[in-house]
Amino acid sequence: MAIRQIRLYPDEILRKRSREVEKIDPKIIELLGDMLDTMYEQNGVGLSAVQVGVLKRVVVIDIYDGNPPLKLINPVILKTKGNQECEEGCLSFPNQYAKVNRPEYVTFEALDETGKKITIKAKGLLAQAICHELDHLDGKLFVDIMEPGTLEYVNPNKPKDENN
Q: Any idea which residues carry the catalytic annotation?
A: 133
Rounded to 5 degrees, φ, ψ at 101 are -110, 130
Q: Which residues contact 8 (CB under 8 A, 6 or more apart)?
A: 92, 93, 94
DSSP state of 127: H
Is residue 76 within 8 A of residue 129, CB to CB? The reply is no
Is residue 19 within 8 A of residue 54, CB to CB? The reply is no
- Alpha-carbon distance of 58 to 78, in angstroms, equals 17
- Alpha-carbon distance of 31 to 116, in angstroms, equals 18
- Alpha-carbon distance of 101 to 60, in angstroms, equals 21
